[in-house]
Structure 1
Amino acid sequence: MQELADLVMPLSIGIIMFGIGLELRFKDFRRVFFYPKSVIIGLASQIILLPLTALVLVYFWPIDPVYKVGIMLIAACPGGTASNLVAKVLKGRVPLSITLTAFNSFLILFTIPFVVTLSFDLFAQESQQVDLGFWETMKEILLTVVFPVLGGIAVSEMVSDKTRESFHKPLNYILPGIMLLAFIIVVFFDNSNQDIRYLENAHLLIPLIILNILTMLIGFFTAQKLKLKHKTAYTIAIEMGLQNSVLALYISNELLSNDKLSLIAILYSSFSLLSTFGIALFLKQYGTKTATEN
């Protein structure tokens, strides 16, 4: 069953990204690159504000030091592909979301080793190095995000506007369904998720939930303060809320061989998709709207 879980997740991500690409065209990314303010603010929020928020939170939170390192690891792994789907479902700026995911996948090669090493020095009183393989990471992001999106956009460019419009409604049901199916398979069949007693770990869930909510609010209001449009602000909030828990789990298990660190990644992934969707929906509906163009 573990083999099934290992196969389903990357395959599901690829299909979802292809489906998202079907509703886009290359011109949709023009604004992102010609007016990069939203990209710069989004990346700065994820790479700088997110770990800083986690650092302040765990510094004062009374938990075992190794769990503090685990929360810092989660904060250092921004931009899971699920954020692209949530941005699509909530009609956020999907090209911005995809662009942030792609850029983050490169930047974390440098930021994760720095954050994790610093966290061990601060909290665990020991030094431990993390070395993310450049080509392995690039291959993963190319195969699961970049190539599927480009393939979907290529198909979108070749069909008529009427045909492209016909994709919208079924994809709104199909893509979330695929994500839900993948989530269920990973939760119930991935060996790393077995025997997790959530009630016994409530003291760890509380700071993780606070981190999720707090970082989304910080991302949203920072974007608005810097005069980004409402749609851009809640898209950045989505990116702040959904971390790459799969990557955090891989680092915990394969690179650091630490079950306590992997527990934090599992706990965060167990609620963050639903909580991020709910908070982003609230911000979309009730957040203060700004009229300034970015």
Structure 2
Amino acid sequence: MQTFLDYLLPVSIAVIMFGIGLGLTVSDFKRVLISPKAVLFGLFGQLILMPLIGFGIAFAFDLDPIYQLGIILIAACPGGTSSNIVTYMLNGRVALSVSMTAFNSFLIILTIPFILDLAFSLFWTSSREINLSMLDTFRDVALTVFIPVLTGLAARHYFPIIVEKIRKPLRFILPGIMFVVFLLVLINEKQSGDKSLVEYWDLLLPALCLNVLVMFVGFFSSGAAGINHEGKYTIAIEMGLQNSALAIFLANNVIQIDGLSLIAVLYGSFSFFTTLIIAWLMKRFMKKKEAIINP
């Protein structure tokens, strides 16, 4: 099973990132250059605030070091295609969501090695040597994130009619791929673990805290920065719905420590639904507040 996952995970990540690329156009990047405030603040939230919150949660909960590392790993990953889907479902700023996903998918090539190196120095006490060079991580993430996104962008540019026909079904196919990956990893964790996955319920609380806390921090901090209503909950969605599939890939294929992917698997099992519900409540809150201010 593990050998199969070693091939399935990178292929799945590449397909998902290719799907994200199909939703991009050159105008998305032009929009960022013309009005970069929301994207820059969103990237600040994901690249700075999220890891800081992740470290705080890792220190706050009495967890095994491997699970503390798991919290940091999921906090270091970018938003995935699911965040774009949730934003679309709630009529948020889809272009902002896609732009944040794209730019962050490129920037993590530099940020993930730094964040994980810091996490290992703080939490990992084993004498085992961890091979986590920036060059290796750059290569693996580039092959599964950077190149597929650029390929999808090029495909939409040169074959717009074909891409337009498949983009809508991809909104359902890509989450389906992630669901299958999570299911297979869950089965693998159950087979290789020393206890049932049900007994890992105590890990759900820190994972849920990360999901909920970063959403509210993103929502209120972006509001304080002057981001408009739709931008506020779009940033909250992008911060709350991390690319769990990428975290699983990094845990199993790059870092290669047993059990490290468990937090990402648990996070991926509920974060789509909790993020959707919380963002919907944020949207209703804004509407009610606006109705009171402008009756």
Alpha-carbon contact 1:188-1:194 (below 8 Å) kept: no
1:200-220 deviation line (CA, Å, top 9, x unaligned): 001111110111001011011
Deviations 1:120-172 (A, max 9, x none): 2222335845224334423332443233244335555x79xxxx8xx7xx966
Aligned to 2:132: 130
- Shift in Å at residue 286 of structure 1? 2.0
Q: What is residue 119 of structure 1 aligned with on the other side?
A: 119
Q: Percent identity?
A: 37
TM-score norm. by structure 1 comes to: 0.80
Report matched runs for 1:218-229 at 5 Å.
218-229=217-228
User: Where in structure 1 do 4 or more consecutive aligned residues deviate above 6 Å?
Assistant: none
Q: Provide the TM-score with structure 2 as the length reference.
A: 0.80
Report the equivalent of 1:260.
Answer: 259
CA distance 1:251–1:140, shift in 2 (3 Å): closer
1:181 maps to: 176
Partner Cα separation in structure 1 for residue 189 and residue 181 of structure 2:
8
1:34-73 Cα distance to aligned partner (Å, 9 max, x none): 1211121111101111011111222121221221121111
Gaps (5+ residues) in structure 1?
Answer: none
Q: Does 1:141 align with 2:145?
A: yes
Residue type of the partner of 1:259?
D
Sort the Cα spacing of 1:277 and 1:152 in 2 relative to 1 into closer, same or farther, 3 A: farther
CA contact (8 A) 2:19 2:149 kept: no
Counterpart Cα distance in 2 of 1:9 and 1:104? 15
1:261 counterpart SS class: coil
Q: State the distance in 2 between where 1:261 and 1:267 align.
A: 11
Question: Aligned runs of 1:44-193 on 2, under 5 Å?
Answer: 44-125=44-125, 128=130, 130-132=132-134, 133=136, 134-152=138-156, 174-190=169-185, 192=188
Aligned residue for 1:259, secondary structure, equals coil
Inter-partner Cα distance in structure 2 for 1:10 and 1:228: 32
CA-based RMSD: 3.0
Structure 2 residue identity aligned to 1:109: I
* Cα separation, 1, equivalents of 2:116 and 2:28: 36
